[in-house]
Amino acid sequence: MTRFLLNLILMGIITLGIYWALSTFVPSLSAYSIPIALLLGITIGFFIYIQIDNRLGP
């Protein structure tokens, strides 16, 4: 359960970081910054979780 909670926190931090970067540096995408941040944050966070899970093993 600890890895799962770590993954959720990691996804949230990555999503907030991507949202901040999009809204700060690309203001023309402000209408789409939340969906883009959610998609990229969850995808990158899940990828990192898979990498950690495969490396540590059961």
Q: Which class for 44: exposed (0-12), middle (13-18), buried (19 or more C-beta within 10 A)?
A: middle
The tokens describing 2, both together, are 């600890």
> pTM (2 decimals)?
0.81
Q: What is the mean pLDDT of each run of 10 residues along the chain (58 residues)?
A: 83 94 90 92 90 72
Query: For position 48, what pLDDT does the model report?
Result: 87
Query: Sign of dihedral through CA atoms 7, 46, 13, 16?
Result: negative
